[in-house]
């Protein structure tokens, strides 16, 4: 497992090498300018290797990211070179986060909110976000949209990738728990070191909660957020049955 951990950050960045980080950050910047135009500081919940945070820092924001993976945070730390006063990272899960600092905007991208699979985790995540927001601060998050997930059910998928150092095969086998609104995504990952030809195998379980408008609205009311808008991810269109990925923008009410 320690060997897999050493390779994991390489695997992660390879897996998402085609992800449009620049486009996504432009989208987030537009949302921030629309709903909190005076924002200067951002907290990134579940920052991963820190690519979104770095690009937002380059755009002029002061950004702090948190994550649970020390391997990914080690990559994120490298992004701070020359930006130490404006970009920072710490290790934490969302529920335990206490920074004693307020931010103008909190973001949580790449379905981090859907990883909060229990009601308690979900409510605590929203409460922690609110606790770290300044007056009238906003929360922007994306998640698996329940109506679309149940319309286009998850299926088994295989993904193969490689770079100059490693070759990766990832098998994703989903199991849906309808009464819990959760999909168990069972990953089997094979990483081959192209220099030594050694293959490391690892199994991961990602419990992903798909969410619905009514339950999220109830949590917002309970925690003290107002809903500003809801969109399909990377668009200004309303959520629909053909989009698993949806983004909400909330404002702290009190």
What is the rounded CA–CA span in Å between residue 114 and residue 96? Answer: 17
Co-location of 186 and 248 in the same domain: no
Same domain, 97 and 72: yes
In eight-state DSSP terms, residue 18 is: T
Q: Same domain, yes or no, for 94 and 218?
A: yes
- What is the spatial distance between Cα 52 and Cα 89, in angstroms, rounded to a whole number? 12
| Same domain for 153 and 127 | no
Does residue 174 share a domain with residue 115?
A: no
Q: What is the biggest distance separating any 2 CA atoms in the chain, rounded to whole angstroms?
A: 57
pLDDT at 2: 42
What is the C-alpha end-to-end distance of the chain, expressed in Å? Answer: 45
**Domain check: are 28 and 98 in the same one?**
yes
Q: In which domain, by residue range, is 88 found?
A: 2-145+212-252
Which domain CATH number covers 179?
2.20.130.10
Tell me, yes or no, whether 92 and 216 share the same domain.
Answer: yes
Contacts of 2 (CB under 8 A, 6+ apart): none
Q: Name 144's bridge partners.
A: 210, 245
Domain count, the chain: 2
User: 49 and 138, same structural domain?
Assistant: yes
Q: Is 248 helix (H, G, I), strand (E, B) or coil?
A: strand
Q: Do residues 131 and 15 both lie within one domain?
A: yes
- Cβ-in-10-Å burial (0-12, 13-18, 19+) of 86 comes to middle
Supply the pLDDT for residue 9: 63
Give the model's pLDDT for residue 3: 43
HEC secondary structure over 131-171 = HCEEEEEEEEEEEEEHHHHHHCCCCCEEEEEECCCEEEEEE
Regarding whether 18 and 115 lie in a shared domain, the answer is yes
**What CATH number does the domain containing 236 carry?**
3.40.50.150
**3-state SS track over 71-84:** HHHHHHHHCCCCCC
Local confidence pLDDT in tens for the 254 residues of the chain: 344 455 666 777 788 888 899 999 999 999 999 999 999 999 999 999 899 999 999 999 999 999 998 888 988 999 999 999 999 999 999 999 999 999 999 999 999 999 999 999 999 999 999 999 999 999 999 999 999 999 999 999 999 999 888 899 999 999 999 999 999 999 999 999 899 998 989 898 999 999 999 999 999 999 999 999 999 999 999 999 999 999 999 999 98
Q: What digits encode the pLDDT tens for the residues 90-122?
A: 999 999 999 999 999 999 999 999 999 999 999
Pair 81, 14 in one domain: yes
**3-class DSSP assignment, residue 226:** strand
24 and 35 belong to one structural domain: yes
Distance CA 173, CA 184 (A): 8
């Amino acid at each position: 497992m320690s060997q897999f951990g050493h390779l994991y950050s390489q695997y992660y960045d390879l897996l998402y090498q085609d992800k449009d980080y620049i486009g996504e950050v432009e989208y987030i910047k537009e949302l921030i300018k629309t709903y909190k135009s005076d924002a200067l500081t951002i907290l990134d919940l579940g920052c991963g290797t820190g690519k979104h945070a770095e690009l937002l820092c380059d755009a002029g924001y002061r950004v702090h990211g948190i994550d649970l993976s020390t391997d990914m945070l080690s990559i994120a730390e490298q992004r701070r070179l020359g930006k130490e006063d404006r970009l920072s990272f710490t290790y934490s899960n969302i529920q335990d986060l206490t920074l004693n600092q307020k931010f103008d905007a909190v973001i949580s991208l790449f379905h981090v909110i859907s990883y909060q699979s229990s009601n308690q985790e979900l409510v605590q995540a929203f409460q922690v976000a609110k606790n770290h927001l300044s007056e009238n601060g906003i929360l922007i998050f994306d998640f698996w949209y329940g109506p679309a997930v149940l319309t286009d059910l998850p299926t088994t998928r295989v993904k193969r990738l490689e770079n100059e150092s490693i070759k990766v095969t990832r098998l994703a086998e989903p199991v849906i728990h309808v009464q819990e609104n959760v999909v168990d995504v069972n990953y089997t990952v094979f990483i081959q070191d192209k220099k030594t030809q050694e293959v490391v195998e690892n199994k991961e379980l990602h419990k992903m909660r798909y969410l619905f408008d009514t339950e999220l609205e109830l949590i917002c009311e309970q925690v003290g957020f107002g809903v500003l808008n809801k969109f399909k991810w990377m668009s200004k269109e309303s959520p629909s049955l053909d989009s698993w990925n949806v983004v909400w923008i909330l404002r702290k009410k009190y």
